[in-house]
Amino acid sequence: MANIREIAKEAGVSVATVSRVLNGYPYVREEKRNAVWEAVEKLNYTKNINAVHLAKGKTSIVGVMLPYVNHPYFGAVLEGISKEALRHRYHLLLFQTNYDVEKELEALEMMRMKQVDGLIVCSHVAGWEIIAQYKEDGPIVLCEDVGDQDFLSVYIDHYEAFAKALRYLIRKGHRHIGYCIGRTTGTNSKARETAYYDTLRQVGVEPRKEWIFDHCLYVEDGKRVIQQWIGMSEKPSALLVSSDQVAAGIVLWGRKEGVKIPGDLAIVSFDNHPISEPLQITTMELPLALMGTKAFRLIYHYIETGNIVKKKEKLPVRFMERSSV
Amino acid sequence: MANIREIAKEAGVSVATVSRVLNGYPYVREEKRNAVWEAVEKLNYTKNINAVHLAKGKTSIVGVMLPYVNHPYFGAVLEGISKEALRHRYHLLLFQTNYDVEKELEALEMMRMKQVDGLIVCSHVAGWEIIAQYKEDGPIVLCEDVGDQDFLSVYIDHYEAFAKALRYLIRKGHRHIGYCIGRTTGTNSKARETAYYDTLRQVGVEPRKEWIFDHCLYVEDGKRVIQQWIGMSEKPSALLVSSDQVAAGIVLWGRKEGVKIPGDLAIVSFDNHPISEPLQITTMELPLALMGTKAFRLIYHYIETGNIVKKKEKLPVRFMERSSV
């Protein structure tokens, strides 16, 4: 790669002039400006796009912070983001965090350093006060209900979706209801927990902590859940399951153990992943890809125009009644 | 963000000196160099990391070219890449291509522009002669058998894996064998097609083009396959299915239609995704995440040391005999 001195020599101007041109400062005579760009082209200096980014102050890259890349929930959100980014010729810089605050901070720092033009936060563990410190550094869009917090967000109301599914189970006569969840911390998980406690108490049923199954993310976690369930002396008659993958595991491993769905155990799941249809799992369709698409649109519009179309947008869910209840 | 002139003023040096320091050129007196970096820090100039990249000639970002982000095969490869990148504090720039040559070129061009330090190509449609043009611009690692081509690669021998699965079906008495595949172009798909024709002809069986089911990527594609299969006057008695997701769809939708697996239709699948276990699908385990991890290690080692550990590495597959044949 040519350096600034070589360009200056080639263009017959001073190093300071090259700097000024590359950094986009005014007050350089057009003749000299042209000479610099010609030299740049001749010496292939633009092959280092970091110089261009430095000059433009923009990278056309959006950061995506997410705990896991190969997970049905986040995979679907990422797909939505990616499709929309593709349409606008933007690229995505992935920050897989494994829910490690330090990794989340790295993503935020990289936005501060202008490595990305903005950041889509699919999920996080860092507190609001930490994220808020980066608000001046670029647009941040969260894929969750941020409540009173002053952030851009596109979200699914997990409280409402969970409460709706619970009320359905209650209407169907269930009182012993447990649930399966990916983790117990985080905004979405807290919303679900609150919905669980609120909704059951509204009908005079005491929620049971031992019926909350944690770390349920993949098909194989369904195996663990059904085995635990079989071993329980007091069993829930119904489970809300936060992911169709886990629900598929429960149904399929349950069948092998002779557990009848819904006879022995009723299930309402979430996502409406294609696997839920042939298994006849009643599920709440979550518009995950759409959430990603809308999150990208919001951040893109802000980066390109400086305007915000809609600060917070709640996306609708759809109940798919099948025959697992 | 401060500009070079402001830094020069703050440091009490010329703009040319600031340029030289930021670009890492020698022959700047230490006193002046320190003054520049102090000014840089004071004025928060390093907040634009593009200047740092420009100076270092390195971004600690690796590009990942893949057709789809939310696909079980590529999702698993991406997971392997991502975990290893995380360990080495590298980040990933995603290039989702949808198998569009133009998008693939964009990824290659961005490596040329030093936006990324190297590129992992999970799958591509661009010809070898196109990719070869970018070999001087940075390390490229392919996740496929590149044959005689002079590229770095970590791969699964899909010919061998496919032939092995076919021979298993033949040993079990099947002669009417078809297969399901994601697409019919591409190195891996061609390898499978060749394995299909070679292996069947070796036992004197004529391969049947109409028993090749194209565009099979997701669970829902299994529904289409089983419906087509039901409607066929001459049916294959066994199918090789290139993805467990599609196989799960075939088994589950088949059950609903009264198709007995393996009685009516035998299945050997690929991946060993967790869904295949409760469905008792015989499958060839493909080390997809490991392929991603090894691809990252290869490129990382090259970026950091300029050395190549192993130019081409073939990864072993594992046959998981269950009861779908």
CATH number of residue B42's parent domain: 1.10.260.40
Burial class (CB in 10 A: 0-12, 13-18, 19+), B154: buried
AA identity, residue B304: E
Q: Closest to B75 (Cβ–Cβ): which among A70, A252, A255?
A: A70
Domain stops at, among A39, A56, A73 = A56
Q: Which residues of B235-273 are buried (b: 16+ CB within 10 A; e: fewer)?
A: ebbbbbbbbbbbbbbbbbbbeeeebebbeebbbbbbbbb
Q: What is the 3-state secondary structure (H, E, C) of A142-201?
A: ECCCCCCCCCEEEEECHHHHHHHHHHHHHHCCCCCEEEECCCCCCHHHHHHHHHHHHHHH
Does the residue A167 lie in any domain? Answer: yes
The answer on A192 and A150 residing in a single domain is: no
What is the pLDDT averaged over residues B176-181? 96
Q: Which residues of A228-260 are buried (b: 16+ CB within 10 A; e: fewer)?
A: ebeeeeeebbbbbbbbbbbbbbbbbbbeeeebe
Torsion of CA B40, B45, B47, B48, to 10 degrees: -130
Tokens 């009182």: give the residue.
A175
Burial class (CB in 10 A: 0-12, 13-18, 19+), A164: middle
Rg from Cα positions in chain A: 26
The distance between the two most distant Cα atoms of chain A, rounded to a whole number of Å, is 87
Rounded Cα gap, residues A92 and A107, in angstroms:
12
**Percent of chain B that is helix, strand, coil (3-state, to 5):** 50, 15, 35
- What is the CA angle B242-B246-B249, rounded to 5? 155
Minimum Cα–Cα distance from B217: chain A residue: A274
Q: In what order do the strands lie in the sheet with B61-66?
A: A312-315, A152-156, A140-142, A118-121, A61-66, A91-96, B91-96, B61-66, B118-121, B140-142, B152-156, B312-315
Does the residue A218 lie in any domain? Answer: yes
Kindly tell me if the per-residue pLDDT of B26 is higher than 70.
no
Give the range of the structural domain holding residue A48, as residue numbers without chain letter: 4-56
Rg from Cα positions in chain B: 26
The answer on A86 and A35 residing in a single domain is: no
* Cβ separation A49–B113 shorter than 8 A: yes
Kindly tell me if the per-residue pLDDT of B1 is higher than 50.
no
Contacts of A273 in chain B (CB under 8 A): 219
Beta bridge partners of A239: A178, A267
Tokens 């401060």: give the residue.
B2
The answer on A89 and A52 residing in a single domain is: no
Does the residue B136 lie in any domain? Answer: yes
User: Which stretches within chain A are classed as H helix?
Assistant: 4-11, 15-22, 30-42, 49-56, 72-87, 101-112, 128-132, 158-171, 187-202, 219-231, 244-256, 288-305
Contacts of B75 in chain A (CB under 8 A): 69-70, 75
Residue B96, domain CATH: 3.40.50.2300
The answer on A84 and A12 residing in a single domain is: no
Q: What is the 3-state secondary structure (H, E, C) of B17-35?
A: HHHHHHCCCCCCCHHHHHH
Does the residue A238 lie in any domain? Answer: yes
- Element spanning B305, H or E: helix B288-305
Q: Closest to B275 (Cβ–Cβ): which among A3, A98, A248?
A: A248
Tell me the two tokens of residue B229. 């299969």
What is the pLDDT averaged over residues B64-89? 91
Rounded Cα gap, residues B137 and B258, in angstroms:
56
- B226-257 tens-digit pLDDT: 999 999 999 999 999 999 999 999 999 999 99
- pLDDT, residue B46, reads 46
- pLDDT, residue B187, reads 83
Domains of chain B: total: 3
The answer on B171 and B280 residing in a single domain is: yes
Phi, psi dihedrals of residue B284, rounded to the nearest 5°: -100, 115
Q: Is A279 on the interface with B (CB under 8 A)?
A: yes
- What is the CA angle A305-A307-A313, rounded to 5? 125
The answer on A295 and A151 residing in a single domain is: yes
* Cβ separation B50–A115 shorter than 8 A: yes
Does the residue A324 lie in any domain? Answer: no
Torsion of CA B14, B15, B17, B19, to 10 degrees: 180
Share of chain B above pLDDT 90, in %: 67
- A109-161 tens-digit pLDDT: 889 888 899 999 999 989 898 999 999 999 999 999 999 999 999 999 999 99
* Cβ separation B50–A47 shorter than 8 A: no
| Mode of pairing for the β-strands spanning A282-285 and A318-320 | antiparallel
- A214-250 tens-digit pLDDT: 999 999 999 999 999 999 999 999 999 999 999 999 9
Contacts of A25 in chain B (CB under 8 A): 3, 5
Q: Where are the beta strands (DSSP E) in chain B?
A: 61-66, 91-96, 118-121, 140-142, 152-156, 177-180, 212-213, 238-241, 266-271, 282-285, 312-315, 318-320
* Cβ separation A114–B49 shorter than 8 A: yes
Rounded Cα gap, residues B247 and A275, in angstroms:
11
Domain stops at, among B15, B35, B56 = B56
Rounded Cα gap, residues A35 and A55, in angstroms:
17
Read off the DSSP letter of residue A57: T
Rounded Cα gap, residues A270 and A247, in angstroms:
9
Does the residue A323 lie in any domain? Answer: no
Which of B1, B50, B112 is best to mutate for the A interface (most A CBs within 10 A)?
B50
The answer on B228 and B86 residing in a single domain is: no
Does the residue B240 lie in any domain? Answer: yes
> What angle do helix axes B288-305 and B72-87 make, rounded to 10 degrees?
40
The answer on B243 and B165 residing in a single domain is: yes
The answer on B168 and B208 residing in a single domain is: yes
When pLDDT is cut at 50, 70 and 90, the band that residue B24 belongs to is low
The answer on B46 and B15 residing in a single domain is: yes
Selected residues 166-225 of chain A with any CB under 8 Å from a CB in chain B: 218-220, 223
- pLDDT, residue A42, reads 73
- B127-174 tens-digit pLDDT: 898 999 999 999 999 999 999 999 999 999 999 999 999 999 999 999
- pLDDT, residue B80, reads 95
CB A92 within 8 A of CB B93: yes
Question: What value of ipTM does the predicted structure carry?
Answer: 0.78
Residue of A188, A184, A179 lying closest to A225 (CA atoms): A179
The answer on A233 and A177 residing in a single domain is: yes
Tokens 């001073």: give the residue.
A14
The answer on A102 and A35 residing in a single domain is: no
Kindly tell me if the per-residue pLDDT of B186 is higher than 60.
yes
pLDDT along chain A (325 residues), means of 10: 72 83 71 81 59 67 92 89 92 92 90 91 92 93 94 96 97 96 85 95 93 94 97 97 96 96 97 94 96 97 90 96 97
Minimum Cα–Cα distance from B289: chain A residue: A70
Tell me the two tokens of residue A291. 């959430």
Q: What Cα–Cα distance (Å) separates residue B294 from each residue in A316, B77, B161?
A: 41, 10, 19
* Cβ separation A91–B86 shorter than 8 A: no
Over chain B, what is the mean pLDDT? 90
Selected residues 76-105 of chain B with any CB under 8 Å from a CB in chain A: 76, 78-79, 82-83, 85-86, 89, 91-96, 98, 103
When pLDDT is cut at 50, 70 and 90, the band that residue B66 belongs to is very high
Does the residue A325 lie in any domain? Answer: no
DSSP output for B131-152: HHTTGGGS-EEESS--TTS--E
* Cβ separation B5–A25 shorter than 8 A: yes
